[in-house]
Structure 1
Amino acid sequence: MTTPLLLIAAGGTGGHMFPAQALAEAMLNRGWRVQLSTDARGARYTGGFPHSTEINQVSSATFARGGLVAKAMVAPRIALGVLDAARRMRRDRPDVVVGFGGYPSIPALSAAVLLKLPRLIHEQNGVLGRVNQLFATRVACVACGVWPTRLPEGAQGLHVGNPVRSAVLDRAGASYIPPGDYPMSVLVMGGSQGARILSDVVPDAAAALPDDIRRHLRIAHQARPEDIDRVTARYAAQGIKAEVEPFFHDVPRRMSEAQLVISRAGASSIADLTVIGRPAILIPYAAAAGDHQTANARGLVEAGAAILIPERALDVASLSAQMSAILSNPQAAQHMSRAAMGAGAPDATERLVALVTELANRNG
């Protein structure tokens, strides 16, 4: 009996790649082979994938970047990627193809459509991304991370939640130490887009906190590379202990040790918060397509697990006031931690695995 093969198509950002990694881990543990189809940009996120994942780097492009010459080359590059993906699939036929969004998933999904292979897509956000909109009616099912998700007519959707990596599951429900008269950790995550405003506002908001809170702070702040020096200097000038890095490879550990998380409302960040269970202040990225980050945040806010500050309302005074409200009230923070754990779908990976397995069985 041949080993079944899953081909995962994803790329662009951690928001696409982290749930793809979760599915790869689960399917490998079930004895499947797993291939990942991505481009050079997505390949930067493959370090966390299990070593047995086969990485196929394909040619892809987007109309959203570059000048006229770059835009003129988009269609030829995608066509080249589709041909390459189809050639690979004919040689090593996947049992199921799963797309996670991002333009690097276009070649593999297009080839799967042309070859009539069993396929589905997973949408992390409450609003379909542009690539997933293209394929929503050309797949067996849209597995939705947030519910309800707006789907085009003719698309079949099923709520599964957003899978999280094993490193997050290992911290599921980690004991929460409420804020108090001792070192308090704050994790600041801006995501791969829109991090600058957090670098502009958070250091000064922390500096504006009452002294009995500020002197206990230990901040871990993800910032754009070009902002690291000024953010580091701002914290240092206020006597606040801070680690400022462009990317933390141990976010699950840092989140589990945090008394408060300040973050954009990307789907993966929301999923991690609900599995680990931490109070959060969420600032949805205003430029996100269809304002999908506000839709992502809604469940946590309605559950009483997070405070939402729209980007247009974010300033030093408003953020400092909300930070103080949480860090000065241990009981409220503890309640938010418990509410976060009740607002997610910790079995999202298992639900997605079941969909993949059912699709494979249905097609022999």
Structure 2
Amino acid sequence: MNKQVSITPDGVEDPHEAESRRRLVYPIEQGPKVGEGVDVAPGVKWIRMPLGGSLAFINVWAIVEEGGWAIVDTGLNSEASMQAWRKAFAGVLQSKPVTRVFITHMHPDHIGMAGWLTRKFNCRLWISRLEFLMCRSLAADTGREAPPDALEFYRAAGWDQEALDTYRSRFGGFGRALHALPDSFQRMRDGDEIAIGGHAWRVVVGSGHTPEHVCLWCPELKLLISGDQVLPKITSNVSVFPTEPAADPLDDWLTSLARIKTIVPDNVLVLPAHNEPFHGLHARIDALIGGHERRLTHLRAEIAEPKRAVDVFHVLFRRKIDGNNVGMATGESLAHLNCLMARGQAVRRRDERGVDWYQAA
């Protein structure tokens, strides 16, 4: 999946981000074990679903309402997730049914079990329109061969033949991480107010990580379910993909973060999809924006001489980039390079082999 990464410039701890993390407060001392739950507010429970890999789990949220539980995010489609949900229903959820399933965005660790839950309990999926349609589109690639446009895209980024062959062999894997999606949904729009568990929750949409990412804010409970839009310890991946090679998702990301800061007050408890609930929303948003701006500055200095997308990984990533995460690293590098071009700070030239070279303007 490779959708999250902690990134710092030049492989060194960013002192600005380190200071911002010290300003965050984590009020819940002990998080739940997988399939178990912890109360975070009256009628709101924090449950963990297993992921494996560098991200061991995803946080999902259960909100009590008349007739059962509204669930926010679902975990990856896997036998381990299914067993964890069965454990939760037998334990913390007290054998009560699911009334609705809310999805923050279309990545498999968030929506993977939505089809299983909605069918099991004959309930409705709530999601933004773009997230639903994008998820359906990616799931439809299952079993397809990698399209020529995608191979050209990654060849232009500087991939060698071995990397392209690996991409071919793995193409279409997105749908295998999903239980079959429901065929209909209830749309969530930015600014909507939804009654959940006797409280009004406002839909706050962000973009950049995905096209129409939903956060849910409850002013009365002072809670913000942030999904992957704001995470306390890691930075959500912001990537360019072959389907829209000229996109500028980093500008979308930075703009939407700044907007969320003007809408949601700083006194909320943030309930993120990964890591622990925290206080300090505005400080974390400032750090995320500032961190990306510093990386753009580092990147512009790096491309004083022409570079390919694969040549700038060391500017953006602390971890080693290999065959398991080169797609994510390439997408994020292109997001930063496209942002520099959109700002008039870089230019791109394609050589006779079809490879793109970037240079500071």
TM-score, normalising length: structure 2: 0.29
Q: Which structure features the higher share of strand residues?
A: 2
Higher relative contact order (CA 8 A, sep 6+): 2
TM superposition score normalised by structure 1: 0.29
